[in-house]
Amino acid sequence: MSSPATAVFVHGGWHDGWSWHLVRELLDARGVPSVALDLPMTTLDGDAAVLSDALAAIEGDAIVISHSWGGSVATLGAIGAPNVRHLIYIAAVLTEAGHPTLSPPPVPVEGRETLRSKVVIETNTTTVIDREVSLAAFYHDVEPSLARQAASRLRPFQKTGYAVVDTDAVAAWRTIPTTYVVCADDRMIHPDTQREMAAAAAAAGAEVLEWPSSHSPFLSHPDLVADLVARRAGSTSG
């Protein structure tokens, strides 16, 4: 029997690799190796290079799991990696290669209000997060002490990270088997916006799932994330 693929976790904007720690503990118990990246969040191509380098260092197959902003990193950084078996986007930005995000500035859509405008604070060079508001925007279904711990770790995101990268490369999700997970109780990226991105992925052959989760299922429902990752990684234990 072949070994399970290595799970490579790509965090969202303002977060770090720690955000996946509960999922990784569950995967450890199943014998699924994993790596959680810490992205510099300075430019999209810089972050994508961190992922590309991590994939190149893995012996054997890998799967890439991305969240929120990390979806753009996975879309660009997994291109051309011969060992990537599967991509998982969790409430993640899914666009063409080199397009970093759906904003800024957010384009208001009637009926799709989120807490983004309340939680994101603009400075001259960065965007930062109001940590108190993040408890409602990111973590409203997370155990309160864990939510506050997560909020305390949020980092600045450089506005240069929103710049489009000029590339003719085909988005990784168009060529690699993909699963898109819609978080149906998300207050940061509206679930209907996620469903539109999921539909684009489905048109290219992706599987689409919905979970009753906030923007942060890796903290509120780590078992759901671990179960999905273990299945895609090829683990048969647990």
Q: Which residue has the higher pLDDT, 108 or 167?
A: 167
Q: What is the pLDDT of residues 190-214, one digit of tens each?
A: 999 999 999 999 999 999 999 999 9
The DSSP result for the chain, as a single string, is -PPPPEEEEE--TT--GGGGHHHHHHHHHHT--EEE-----S-HHHHHHHHHHHHHT-SS-EEEEEETTHHHHHHHHTTT-TTEEEEEEES----STT---S-SSP---TT---SHHHHEEE-SSEEEE-HHHHHHHT-TTS-HHHHHHHHHT---EEGGGGSPP---PPPGGGTS-EEEEEETT-SSS-HHHHHHHHHHHHHTT-EEEEES--S-HHHH-HHHHHHHHHHHHT----
What is the reported pLDDT for 102? 63
Within-domain flag for 187? yes
pLDDT greater than 50 at residue 236 = no
What is the reported pLDDT for 100? 85
Within-domain flag for 238? no
User: What CATH number does the domain containing 33 carry?
Assistant: 3.40.50.1820
The pLDDT confidence band at residue 238, using thresholds 50, 70 and 90, is very low
pLDDT greater than 80 at residue 106 = no
The pLDDT confidence band at residue 235, using thresholds 50, 70 and 90, is low
pLDDT greater than 70 at residue 151 = yes
Domain hosting residue 175, numbered range: 6-233
pTM of the model: 0.95
What is the reported pLDDT for 237? 40
The pLDDT confidence band at residue 101, using thresholds 50, 70 and 90, is confident
State the total domains in the chain: 1
Within-domain flag for 1? no
Within-domain flag for 165? yes
Q: What would the mean pLDDT of 215-225 be, rounded to a whole number? A: 98
